[in-house]
A and B are shown apart, each in its own frame.
Chain A
Amino acid sequence: MAKESRASRRVFGQTQAAVVLLLPFMAVYVLFLIYPFFRGIWISLHDWNLLAVAFNPDAKEFVGASNYIKVMWGKNITWSAWASPTLQILGAVGVVASVVLHRGRRLSKATALAIGIGSALFFLLPGFHPGEEGRWYDRRFWPTVGNTLLFVGFTVPGVTVSALILAAALNRETRAMSALRTLFFLSQVLSVTVVTLIWQIMFSPRQGLIANITELFGGSPIVWLTDERFAMAAIVITTIWWSLGIAMILFLAGLQDVSTDLYEAGALDNATGMKAFWYITLPNLKRTITLVIVLQIILHFQVFGQSHLMTNGGPNDTTQVLVRYIYQTGFRDSELGRAAAMAVFLFLIMGAFSALQFVLGREEE
């Protein structure tokens, strides 16, 4: 009897303790993450002018999906398979490749599905274009999404390849190697404003270090940040310099799990150096590489500071990216409803990649 009541008291005590301990987190979590998330969807369904609503809370009007249509759609939009052939062929090839590779058991189900769906979108989405007398309601939205994808498309492979090579080379527990790792990682802890400050001046045609070096060799300096051909490249270079460290660290963590026996066995078969990297390191790091790539897509799709501070989205919108467009639409044009609709779009893309990251992480375990 006594034992039983003590046990039941203990269970009751556990629930009570759990409530007390969970309450602070859940309160802040619901108030500042869950609620704002749904409120964002709600705002996106309204014609909501930032200034008008600030003066008069009733100045918003429910408009349904109108903001989404204004942002993403247009007049007389048609679809054809050859609207932008390069992207669409790439997408079609991707779909076929994911099916073939999955059949041949070269890709796991999740990876194949992800690549397949992604490629299908590449085939479908660029096919939409304004027909005769047609136009997009928002001319800047899709080009902005395109710029963001371009930025991700250059930055992610750039970071991944260089970080992978560095990690493989630095994977030894000696003082010199650990010092070198520190040097490569250092830029990662700087804030976006410090990074853009440094690189804005690095790229400056009059005062910049790059211009100074070019002049040393008799070349004429490039006007990096205001030239349409180079502005995106400048932002990509800056970002690679800034964020190489985290990818390198994740690869080094992955390399810890590759058994040294494999390299010893490989050395017997004359597989050292480049050969060992190609035949032992890469295949064993497959999972880590996929995770690092997905992680970086999520991270860099949200790029804002580099574009906002270095180029102001210019020249001629060539470095305008999605988060900066959301920020401008909301806080410069005061069009909160449309900005919120774009934020929902951003969330859907990010959410898909987060889900993929989660599935891949689980597969590992």
Chain B
Amino acid sequence: MLNRGYYWLVLALSIPAFVWLVPTIWMVSLSFQPNDVLARTTSSTALGLVPIPFTAENYAALFTFGQTPLWFLNSVIVSLGMTLGVLLVSATAGFALARLKFPLKTPLTVLILIGLMVPEQAVFIPLYTMFADFGWHNSYHALMLPRIAVPIGVFLMMSFFKAIPDDIEEAARLEGVGWLQIFWYVMLPLARPAMMTLAILTFLYAWNDYLWPLVSAQQREYFTITLGLASIQSNFAQSEGLGRVMASGVIASLPVVILFLIFQRYVVQAMTVGGSKG
């Protein structure tokens, strides 16, 4: 199978793959170059793709002044909180819809299905006024709450729980174990792969979300890193220096890139699920 044609194909594909990677390499490379050099030219060595002259000063500066560390922390709190919330409500609801018999089950499922059709962009104005009425803006819960009830999470968990064979559950029921215990001790441990996929899908979404934090967090102390980066990128040349803004970009991307490289299989699965159903 691995004939000469194959090696030519790999070689031919390496060129577009490299081109695809160039913008990212460039960001990383610029983040390691001194700001005074960048003010003159961005193409010092190999069109700027190699960081010579080299400096780590931009990163040091990020952590001594500026709000990047705080925004980073905000993003961690919000993303983890949202992920936990989504896992909790999706796993419980998914289990109930997949394995329990109860009245009004079909109408409820349809009601949740309809929610798949409502995009965030269509409800952010009413959500804004609601949260303003509650006096909730500029807080962590305001950033987390609107995206906790995502229908896609319920359907992902539901289809997983449906696929578990009946005999596991029946064995427990014969022992007289209650439904909540079956859910917690029997089903939840089995559902780890599905929950992992859902967790990564949610974390990526939360980390990268821009529109809702933009309208909800007006005080800079509650910016997420995604929002903070947007707020400094418009005037990078004057105030912060190109190298430092690029360093912020690298820091902002680091968690999702690491997550992606370690859990690539789950990320791809999460994207496929998120993409094909909602």
Instruction: Give the B-binding residues of A (Cβ under 8 A).
Output: 10-11, 13-15, 17-22, 24-26, 28-29, 31-37, 39-40, 42-43, 53-54, 166, 169-170, 172, 174, 176-177, 180, 182-194, 196-202, 207-209, 212-213, 216, 241, 244-246, 249-250, 253, 291, 295, 298, 302, 304-305, 309, 323, 326-327, 330-331, 336, 339-340, 343-344, 346-347, 350-351, 354-355, 358, 361
Contacts and interface: CB of A to CB of B under 8 A. Distances in A.
B119 interface: yes
A22 B92 contact: yes
B56 interface: no
B126 A340 contact: yes
Contacts of A213: 47
Contact of B92 (A21, A180, A244, A302): A21
B89 A28 contact: yes
B42 A209 contact: yes
B233 to A, nearest CB: 5
B89 A361 contact: no
Contact of B10 (A25, A29, A176): A176
Interface string B243-271: 00110010011001101110010011001
A15 B38 CA distance: 66
A249 B267 CA distance: 11
A305 B215 CA distance: 13
A170 B6 CA distance: 11
A327 B148 CA distance: 22
Given A15-B103, A187-B20, 14 more contacts: A21-B96, A21-B183, A32-B148, A33-B146, A37-B123, A40-B122, A43-B125, A184-B20, A191-B207, A193-B230, A202-B26, A207-B42, A249-B271, A302-B119
21 contacts: A14-B101, A17-B183, A18-B105, A33-B118, A43-B129, A174-B2, A190-B256, A194-B229, A194-B249, A194-B253, A209-B42, A212-B47, A304-B121, A304-B211, A327-B214, A327-B215, A343-B121, A346-B121, A355-B117, A358-B113, A361-B276
> Looking at A29, A34, A202, which has the most chain B CB atoms within 10 Å of its CB?
A29
B246 to A, nearest CB: 8
Interface residues of B, number: 99
B275 interface: yes
Contact of B118 (A37, A180, A200, A207): A37
A18 B96 contact: yes
Nearest to A322: B121
A347 B97 CA distance: 27
A201 B236 CA distance: 10
A209 B22 contact: yes
Contact of A183 (B9, B21, B178): B21
Contacts of B119: 298, 302, 346-347, 350
Given A22-B93, A25-B154, A33-B115, A191 B208 contact: yes
A274 B260 CA distance: 32
Contacts of A54: 132
A193 B233 contact: yes
A350 B2 contact: no
B122 A346 contact: yes
Nearest to B233: A197
A310 to B, nearest CB: 10
Interface string B189-221: 000000000000000100110110011000000
B93 A24 contact: yes
A69 to B, nearest CB: 19
A144 to B, nearest CB: 14
B112 interface: yes
Contacts of A174: 2, 6
B171 interface: no
B130 A351 contact: no
A18 B98 CA distance: 10
Nearest to B251: A194
Nearest to A28: B149
A78 B42 CA distance: 54
B168 interface: no
A189 B180 contact: no
B163 interface: no
B76 to A, nearest CB: 14
A193 B88 CA distance: 29
B48 interface: yes
A267 B125 CA distance: 57
A185 B254 CA distance: 15
Interface in B14-68: 14, 16-17, 20-24, 26-27, 30, 38, 41-43, 47-48
